[in-house]
Amino acid sequence: MSNPKNLIYFGSPLFSAQILESLLALKDIKLVGVVTQPDKPQGRAQTLTPSPVAQTASRLNLPTYKPAGLDEANLAHLKLLKPDIFLVVSYGKIIPASWLATPTLGTFNIHFSLLPKYRGALCISEAIKNLDSETGVTLMKMDSQLDHGPIISAQKVAIDTTDDTASLTTKLTQAAVQLLADKLPEICAQSFTAIDQDESKATFTPKTSFLTHANAFISSEKIISATNGINASEISALIRSLTPEPGAWTKLGNREIKIINTSLKDEKLQINLVQLPGKSPITWKQFTAGYQNITNPK
């Protein structure tokens, strides 16, 4: 076997950290560095907290870089590691062309959709919201445009009617781990093929800034109608696409209610678990028992 190729990993969220750790089992690559977002304030105390990828890299004793900007000075540090491959999995910054061109074998990306469908960051939630029966993971060679580069391989993943964004992310992460185990050796051996995307089929997701508490509001009229079988599948999909973050919510009377879990039964929406601000989650049965005056609309 030839010498392993030097790989620098770019990523930030938890699922990306799980993919990073899976790479340790691959013999064809050597993880020589990790690039992630700078530490960000979190919680009520606004404590500066490393990204999940940074935390995993620290535990694995991997050199970690958290550049505020992707300039030539920061790139010079990475060049010292003699990278053959950059692998990008939900890093969260636009990577400049000079960075993309640095590794000897190229810069590659894992994207959680079947490209060219759902280019952009909200690819998981959009697939659920749009009632798609399947989505997938795409491995592509990156170019300077958003999720635009030629496709090396893709793996389909079924979407169940019970999947929310969290559970589908777990499925896609598992598929990505397997896809990289299969295809990174081909990249290292330069034996892969890549096919240009069909631009006529490209679709784009909203920006992450769209995922706000205000935009997660669903009127009580729509939810009550769905419990009576009107547009139940669509409302169920919308709620699941907003779960766990930012969390679908509605108002009954003057009370704000977060909708944590629903299901479909006999083509009607079933509300299973809700939460009032500052309170622990409770079942819908518990809620209706305590607030009968606002949960029995005429």
Is residue 296 very low, low, confident or very high in pLDDT (cuts 50, 70, 90)? low
For tokens 């994207």, name the residue: 111
Supply the CATH number for residue 273's domain: 3.10.25.10
Domain end (from 174, 201, 228): 201
Q: For residues 179 and 222, state if they share a domain.
A: no
Q: Is residue 208 part of a domain?
A: no
Domain end (from 172, 201, 230): 201
SS3 89: strand
Q: Is residue 15 part of a domain?
A: yes
Q: For residues 193 and 77, state if they share a domain.
A: yes
Q: Is residue 207 part of a domain?
A: no
Domain count, the chain: 2
Q: For residues 97 and 189, state if they share a domain.
A: yes
pLDDT 10s digits, 149-179: 999 999 999 999 999 999 999 999 999 999 9
Nearest to 67 by CA among 35, 94, 103: 35
For 185, the domain range is 5-201
Task: Write down the pLDDT at residue 2.
Answer: 73
Q: For residues 118 and 261, state if they share a domain.
A: no
Residue 194, pLDDT > 70, answer yes
Distance CA 166, CA 209 (A): 19
Supply the CATH number for residue 44's domain: 3.40.50.170
Q: For residues 244 and 158, state if they share a domain.
A: no
Q: For residues 186 and 280, state if they share a domain.
A: no
Record the tokens describing residue 204, joined without a space. Answer: 């784009």
Record the tokens describing residue 275, joined without a space. Answer: 């939460």
Task: Write down the pLDDT at residue 292.
Answer: 58
Where is 98: in which H helix or E strand? helix 97-100
Q: Is residue 45 part of a domain?
A: yes
Q: For residues 167 and 258, state if they share a domain.
A: no
Q: Residue 219 carries which side chain, given as an amino acid letter?
A: S
Q: Is residue 295 part of a domain?
A: no
DSSP bridge pairs for 252: 255
Is residue 257 very low, low, confident or very high in pLDDT (cuts 50, 70, 90)? very high
Q: For residues 51 and 152, state if they share a domain.
A: yes
Distance CA 108, CA 183 (A): 11
Distance CA 66, CA 39 (A): 8
Q: For residues 37 and 60, state if they share a domain.
A: yes
Q: For residues 150 and 101, state if they share a domain.
A: yes
Q: Is residue 298 part of a domain?
A: no
Q: Which of 41-45, 80-84, 282-286 has the lowest mean pLDDT?
A: 41-45
Q: Is residue 296 part of a domain?
A: no
Distance CA 203, CA 170 (A): 23
User: Residue 297, preceding bond cis, omega within 30 degrees?
Assistant: no
Q: For residues 33 and 80, state if they share a domain.
A: yes
Q: For residues 176 and 226, state if they share a domain.
A: no
Q: Quick one: average pLDDT of 48-65?
A: 96
pLDDT 10s digits, 258-295: 999 999 999 999 999 999 998 999 999 999 887 755 55
For tokens 């919510």, name the residue: 249
For tokens 């960051």, name the residue: 121
Domain end (from 201, 225, 253): 201
Q: Are 48 and 66 in contact (CB under 8 A)?
A: no
Task: Write down the pLDDT at residue 192.
Answer: 95
| Residue 216 CA, distance from chain mean position | 18
